[in-house]
Structure formats: structure tokens, C-alpha cells
């Protein structure tokens, strides 16, 4: 694992990404009933708990897949210094992460293209629109 990969802890707030889920009325009613009966504080609490339970249920299969795919797990911060070093060494980085990848704001599209051979992110990628566009053909 690379030096700049940090484990993620499940948290809400700014360390999360909003998604939309369409549910049937009966399922939604069941969730509301459980919230009203005090099992969960709100719908979001129920949905997060359900997702975490499913992830835990499949933890071993996920672990094996992470190993098989050689994925970094957690937060991967990409700095311009790291990309400059790769470019100076004449090598292209292959970035594979399950979690969050963040690109420093000073990374130019030209530097990203000159130093990143491929990028695969299962989770979220935070980079400027220009950097994302420059790497679009290298994203898996």
C-alpha cells in the first residue's frame, strides 16, 4: 500500500456522497414504521445501517476482490510532487482505489496525462473538471 493511503472510517457529513434511491411505497412505509417505533433515528439512519450490514455480510468476498484487483483501500491523495516524480522517473502511475481519490488543486491536466497511465476508482474521485476530462480515456 502506498504511503499516502489512509483507512476510511464510516462517517456522515462531508466525508460522504449523496445518492438517490427509489423505493416502493410499502418498503418506505416499513422504514417509516421502524423510525416511528424508535429503532432508527430517521430514514437515512436505516438506509446506512442496511448498507453497512450488507457490506459486512459480504466482507470476505470484498476482501478477496480487493486483494485480487490490487486495490488501495481508503483515501488516496494525489499530489503534484508525486506526479512530477513519476514523470521525472519516466514511469506512468496505475491508480486503483476502493474509497476516495483526491487530486491536489495545483495538478494540471498536462501533468496528469503525462504521469497517469490508468485510474480506476470504486467510490469517488475528487479532481478538477479539467483533470477529469484529461484522464477520461484512462479511467476504468
Rounded-to-integer distance, Cα 20 and Cα 9, Å: 22
**The model's pTM:** 0.75
Q: What is the model's pLDDT at position 105?
A: 97
Q: Residue 2, Cα to own-chain centre: how many angstroms? A: 16
Q: What is the model's pLDDT at position 16?
A: 82
User: What are the DSSP E strand ranges found in 9-133?
Assistant: 72-78, 93-103, 116-126
Q: What is the model's pLDDT at position 15?
A: 74
H or E element in which residue 5 lies: strand 5-6
Q: What is the model's pLDDT at position 140?
A: 86
pLDDT averaged over 10-residue windows placed end to end, the chain, 140 residues: 55 72 96 98 96 97 95 96 97 96 98 98 96 96
C-alpha closest to that of 101 among 131, 63, 68: 131
H or E element in which residue 6 lies: strand 5-6
Amino acid at each position: 500500500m502506498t504511503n499516502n493511503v489512509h483507512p476510511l472510517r464510516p462517517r456522515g457529513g462531508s466525508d460522504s456522497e449523496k445518492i438517490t434511491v427509489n423505493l416502493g411505497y410499502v418498503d418506505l412505509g416499513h422504514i417509516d414504521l421502524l423510525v416511528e417505533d424508535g429503532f432508527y433515528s430517521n430514514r437515512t439512519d436505516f438506509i446506512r445501517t442496511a448498507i453497512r450490514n450488507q457490506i459486512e455480510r459480504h466482507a470476505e468476498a470484498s476482501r478477496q476482490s480487493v486483494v485480487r484487483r490490487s486495490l488501495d483501500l481508503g483515501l488516496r491523495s494525489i499530489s503534484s510532487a508525486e506526479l512530477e516524480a513519476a514523470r521525472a522517473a519516466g514511469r506512468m502511475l496505475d491508480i486503483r482505489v476502493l474509497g476516495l481519490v483526491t487530486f491536489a488543486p495545483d495538478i494540471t491536466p498536462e501533468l496528469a496525462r503525462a504521469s497517469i497511465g490508468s485510474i480506476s476508482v470504486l467510490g469517488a474521485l475528487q479532481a478538477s473538471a479539467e483533470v477529469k476530462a484529461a484522464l477520461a480515456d484512462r479511467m476504468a
